[in-house]
Amino acid sequence: MVETTSGDLRLVGLTKSFEAFTAVRALDLDIPQGSFFALLGPSGCGKTTTLRMIAGLEEPTAGQILIGDKDITGTKAYQRNVNTVFQSYALFPHMTVLDNVAFGLKRRGDKNATAKAKEALDLVQLGEVGRKKPAQLSGGMQQRVALARAIVNRPDVLLLDEPLGALDLKLRRQMQIELKRIQSEVGLTFVHVTHDQEEAMTMADSIAVMNGGNLEQLGDPATLYEQPRSTFVANFLGQSNLLRASVEGEPAANGIVYVTSHGHKLEVEREHLPHGIRDIWLGVRPEKLRLGPQGGPNQLQGEVSDVSFTGVATQYLVRMPWGRELVVVQQNDGSARARVGEAVTISWAAEHGFALDASQAADAGVEEES
Amino acid sequence: MADIAGVSTGEVRKPVRRGRLVPYVLLLPGMLWLVVFFVAPMVTLFSQSLQEGTVEEGYTFTGNVSIYADALQAYWPHLLRSIGYAATATVITLLLGYPLAYFIAQKAGRWKNIVLVLVIAPFFTSFLIRTLAWRTILSDTGPVTGFAQATGLTSLLQAVGLTATDTLLASKFAVIAGLTYNFLPFMILPLYASLERLDPRLVEAASDLYASPWESFRRVTWPLSLPGVVAGTLLTFIPAAGDFINSRLLGNTQTVMIGQVIDSQFLRVLDYPLAAALSFILLILIVTLVALYVRRAGTEELV
Amino acid sequence: MRWIRSHLLAFAALAVLAYMLIPNIVVAVFSFNDPVGRYNYTWTQFSTAAWTDPCGAQGICDAVGLSLQIGITASLVATVLGTMIAFALGRYRFHGREPTNLLIFMPMATPEVVMGSSLLTLFLMMGVPAGRTAILIAHIMFCVSFVVVAVKARVATLDPRLEEAAADLGANPLQTFLRVTLPLAAPGIAAGALLAFSLSFDDYIITNFNASPSSITFPMYVWGASQRGAPVQVNVIGTIMFLLALAFVFLGQFLSRRREKAA
């Protein structure tokens, strides 16, 4: 009988090294009980390895894993009160759906295993397929069985390893909402691993962005998006326009700081500047850029080089005099659209700009053509 | 960060390789059995060949290497003949088996399972009984021989030297026909396994790129089925070379294969050293041929 | 004619299939023969005498019994040994993988004459008498490799994530093995056992080298019959074996298809 613990999930200095490389470097993370937490990052960033260490399927090279006050680092997978929804679902093909879902409960000697399993299947709206075998179900249904199989055990932490990857777009969107609903209904701590930043931002209460085994930034989706603290996060979540700039002098009384970029004098808010750095990347999100002057000092002239109509919005590529193209996204709200070759003015408000250390690579986190 | 459980968070913990001995424990009984009852006998076989004496008086190890020369001198025709028959039978099984294997793998659809069962079905009757049945089928007074005589097939076979008389039984022809029959399933099943994995869209792509059916076969299907061909030819040639049942039942004194010689030397003539030498020669011959063949064919995955 | 040309492959395939099955049919047909003389090669007249008295020929049923005994025992032992090896090869990393693979492959690549005769020399030197025990030992030896191949093929298809999932859900290693690994590997193990049994039951050459007059297996009986005179019962038993095996296979397929539909 596994004793139930509850409390926050804490990773302390968690490290995993293999002979050739280090997958996870001294990760420190506090995941509040009952929250929906996302581990976000590109493939190879260490998020799946971290998940497997929490599940007990991978032994850490160093560090600790705690749930509340209990150190579970040394325990084996089948001794932990942690369950996983696998990426490939890993449903037992030789057992019925009901037996699959009841598996964990039966291993613990639960007398009401079958009844609880039925409840769990109802929770994911698959009450009628209990007698079928996994091979007879569609991908989406299999995914929900995998979820039921993990949830029914009411673990301290529920781990989800990119569970929606194999589903088509519409189904994925549906399941994202479903998962959120189920999590708030059942109240378990969910740790969701994904490389899809939209998915993470949609579902999670807080996100940890990982890169190359390190934690880049931790925060709620809005903060991460509007105030990225590294070029990696700026590029990985959504898109960013980064302009080389240098800080001029000290902040004024209203909190505005002036920076020069390519001969233009621009405004940035003081709290968006990293402390003590002179050379910066000035970042602005494409949807914060407007075509046409706004009446503030943040203006740049350029020529439209590409127009993409995406239904909800129009994306423009505007070529600057110094050669780089900026991305501007404008909602199709009826206002006039620019054409290729047109000379335009781009402007934005000072509070929409963020600044990052210029020593970071400008293309960190940009999605590569695979 | 203050550590809670008393474990320093800085040290590198060595992962405990639990169950490291498990594979060796699993391997031990079976491999031991093979070492004692497969490898050791090869050693005793070799040793027996170098001994001299008789069954009654016993044997002593003399290191009489000349026995190998004697054995080769006396029986090289049989060795050559065995290799020849086996090679012929292997080629014929390949020619006959390939179409059937291809048919089952790619074209059979819902009949696939039934046809596969029918391919394996002959095994359900003892192969001795089935080979004996060939005596009935090819009997001098039977319809098959009658048909062959009427169509001039027997004269053709005589002219080519596959039969000695105008009957079909007790001839080279019958022996090779028997060998082919016996080993067809051994050729078909590996071929089937290989062809089943062939993606039919590759043949479509070849056709899209102007290849005729023959060219598609030659340049796409055949190369991709090679692992199956190699496995099938090995599984056919090796046992066929050592076979003597077909020769005994369907052949004559001119078709004696090396297997028969070894069998009679061991169990009737009781000349153990000679028999052992012949057996060992056969082993070396086959191992060499197989090694050369596999190296040329280039497939490494045998088990 | 056009129809034949476009279906050439099917015709060729079916012709070869017929070639393979004709002897079985002949065996079945001639089990109803009432031959003149000692041999059963020419059709004389229809008779069911042999069917009503399948054990009529002396020693035939003893031979079948012995073959069954040895076949079942050899199959059981070879399956256990072979399954263990297959799991070791398919699941674990260890030193000496190459030589292990080679040693397992060799019995499949050695002519039976060589294996049988070499075992004879070993037994002579060790003082093991020819007979049942020697035959059993020999059969286990050459069956192990085939079991390994059959089980290894199945083990290779097992998704390691399934065992991780079992552990994740609270099953300790033993429970995982019994409830997940073994059931999933079962078809391969069954195939290996069946293969071992049929190889053992049908073996003549290796058995002959290690048999004594008191240990006549069924293939040996048939061989003797081919020299001395084949009673029709041989055909009867051969046909019974064929029909039983065929029924067995079709039953298995029928059951598995029913199980799929029921769920």
Residue A214's DSSP bridge partners are A211
Q: Are C103 and C129 within one domain?
A: yes
pLDDT at B17: 43
Q: Are residues C87 and C140 in the same domain?
A: yes
**Min Cα–Cα distance to chain C from B12, Å:** 24
Residue A194's SS3 state is strand
**SS3 per-residue string spanning C136-182:** HHHHHHHHHHHHHHHHHHHHHCCCHHHHHHHHHCCCCHHHHHHHHHH
**A97-111 per-position pLDDT tens digit:** 999 999 999 888 889
Q: Is residue C99 part of a domain?
A: yes
Cβ of residue A56 closer than 8 Å to a chain B Cβ: no
| CA–CA min distance A60, chain B (Å) | 8
CB distance from B8 to chain A under 8 Å?
A: no
For residue B137, the model assigns a pLDDT of 87
Do the Cβ atoms of A68 and A5 come closer than 8 Å?
yes
The beta-carbon neighbor of B1 closest among A13, A60, A69 is: A13
Mean pLDDT value across chain C: 87
Q: What is the pLDDT of residue A122?
A: 93
Looking at beta carbons, which residues of chain C come within 8 Å of B130? 23-24, 27, 238
C66 with C32, same domain?
no
Nearest by CB to residue A59, choosing from B7, B11, B15, is: B15
Answer with the residue of higher pLDDT: A335 or A325.
A325
**Would you give per-residue pLDDT tens digits along chain B (303 residues)?**
343 333 334 333 333 345 678 888 899 999 999 999 999 999 999 988 888 877 777 778 888 888 888 888 889 999 999 999 999 999 999 999 999 999 888 877 788 888 888 888 887 788 888 888 888 888 888 888 888 888 888 788 887 877 777 778 888 888 999 999 999 988 998 899 888 888 888 888 888 878 888 888 888 889 888 888 988 998 899 989 988 889 888 888 888 989 989 998 888 888 888 999 999 999 998 888 888 887 776 544 444
Whether domain B76-297 has CATH 1.10.3720.10? yes
User: Which pLDDT does position B4 carry in this prediction?
Assistant: 39
Of A57, A53, A67, which is closest to residue A24 (Cα–Cα)?
A53
Alpha-carbon gap: B15 to the closest alpha carbon of chain A (Å):
7
Domain that holds residue C27: 2-48
- Domains of chain A with bracketed CATH: 9-226 (3.40.50.300), 239-357 (2.40.50.140)
Asked if the structure places residue C140 within a domain, the reply is: yes
Count the domains in chain C.
2
Q: How far is CA B46 from CA B63, B99, B279, C126, in A?
A: 10, 42, 9, 15
* Mean pLDDT value across chain A: 89
- pLDDT of B202 reads 85
Answer whether B239 sits within 8 Å of C111, measured CB to CB: yes
Quick check: is C86 in a domain? yes
Q: How confident is the model at residue A368 (pLDDT cuts 50, 70, 90)?
A: low
**3-class secondary-structure state, position B223:** helix
User: What pLDDT sits at residue A210?
Assistant: 94
If asked whether residues C87 and C174 sit together in one domain, one would say yes
Amino acid B162: pLDDT:
79
Note whether C26 and C62 are same-domain residues: no
The enclosing domain of C192 has a CATH number of 1.10.3720.10
C251 within a domain of the structure (yes/no): no
Per the structure block, which two tokens stand in for C171? Answer: 């099953």
**What do you get for the CA distance between the two ends of chain C, in Å?**
47
* Beta-carbon separation of C113 and B242 below 8 A: yes
Given a cut of 50, the residues of chain C with pLDDT beneath it are: 263
pLDDT above 90 (res A149): yes
Judge if C117 and C216 occupy the same domain: yes
Residue A271 predicted with pLDDT over 50: yes
Between helix B172-196 and helix B112-120 the angle, nearest 10°, is 140
* C21 and C147 together in one domain: no
A2: pLDDT confidence band, cut at 50, 70 and 90?
very low
How do the domains of chain B map onto residue ranges? 76-297
